[in-house]
Amino acid sequence: MVARTLGEDQLVVEDLSVNYGRIEAIRGVSFRVPERGIATLIGANGAGKTTTLKTISGLRAVRTGRILFEGEDITDIPSYKLVKRGLCQAPEGRGTFVGMTVEENLDMGAYTRADRKTKGYRDDLDRVFSLFPRLKERRSQYAGTMSGGEQQMLAIGRALMSRPRVLLLDEPSMGLAPKLIQQIFSIIVEINNQGTTVLLVEQNALQALRTADHAYVLETGEVVRSGPADELAADDSIRAAYLGGDV
């Protein structure tokens, strides 16, 4: 991982607990994401990774704890208001509007913006097309006719159209071929290099640790390990549990 100069903590999660009915999905989760950094949450299925992202995004109610975004408590702010403030998620499973074209999907990503007829909007569209040339080629194609990899690109591009300062990515490699996984993660690094902070939830722990600066390991709703991503990748117990014993 190329070293980056990181700023102050841009996103802070403190002692977060969330229930699904009587089931405690996450309990006492705390972590920090510095400005211009890439942090990752790794862990097995059911560890609470996606629930954590949904809670940060305002899609799940907090039982205890709080979430700070750029120093402001956003714990009870609804998701659509968080998008306006610069916090946006590209959800697990892509979630594209299958009956809309690529360009219409991207326009939906900018629905909170008041400048959709300006040069700034066009510049952002050009940025997405520069990151994802395939989307430019297929800008008039319906999303539902595209491959899984193309829909993943579209989901990330749509999130970028809201001009996020922090981008939450939930399982961006899910269901993709190895060649496409490498491409998606290269683009994530480029998005970060362009100034967007990234919080990444990823089942592919190897790719996540290669991409991130800092990592947090979740087990049954709790953070059980944390540290620089390269140090966790070199840890024998982490390799055995999440990396198949090898990196």
Give tens-digit pLDDT for 37-81.
Answer: 999 999 998 999 999 999 999 999 999 999 999 999 999 999 999
- Output the domain CATH number for residue 5: 3.40.50.300
Note whether residue 11 is domain-resident: yes
Query: Position 94: which residue type?
Result: R
Distance (Å) of CA 167 to CA 22, 55, 68, 174, 237: 30, 14, 15, 17, 29
Tell me what the mean pLDDT of segment 137-144 comes to.
96
- Whether residue 91 is predicted with pLDDT greater than 70 in this model: the reply is yes
CA distance linking residue 180 with residue 80, whole number of Å? 30
Give the total number of structural domains in the chain.
1
- Whether residue 4 is predicted with pLDDT greater than 90 in this model: the reply is no
Note whether residue 111 is domain-resident: no
Q: Is there a contact between 208 and 39 (Cβ–Cβ < 8 Å)?
A: no
Q: Which domain holds residue 29?
A: 1-86+202-247
pLDDT one-digit tens code per residue, 203-232: 899 999 999 999 999 999 999 999 999 999
pLDDT one-digit tens code per residue, 113-137: 888 778 999 999 999 999 999 999 9
CA distance linking residue 215 with residue 201, whole number of Å? 10
Note whether residue 112 is domain-resident: no
Note whether residue 104 is domain-resident: no
